[in-house]
Amino acid sequence: MRDHAHEEMSLRLRGWRLATAEVLYYLPDHPSLIQSFVWQTLDLAPDYPRIHRFLEFWRREIEAVIHSVQLSSGETLAPAPVRKVDFLHHH
């Protein structure tokens, strides 16, 4: 478990962020009905390679036809910006 947390923190510090894909798809047995599937992973904006691999797998291996995909992602985790501050001394 500790290695996983270390790997996740390492990815986040390199610009990876939590991405959420909501996939709306037609039910194979009832094509007039749409179902929702939500999946989260750490991914790298702006290309989101993990999300794209997942959607390619879906199209290849799963009968359900995708209607649409909505993608949202959080902010990157990065060190806080450092600013120079001038000190004014009053005597």
**Residues of the chain above pLDDT 90, percent:** 57
CA atoms of 56 and 81, how far apart (whole Å): 38
pLDDT score at 12? 79
CA atoms of 16 and 54, how far apart (whole Å): 17
pLDDT score at 85? 63
pLDDT digits (tens, 9 = 90+) for 71-82: 998 766 655 666
Stated pTM of the model: 0.72
Average pLDDT on 30-56 reads: 94
pLDDT score at 82? 66
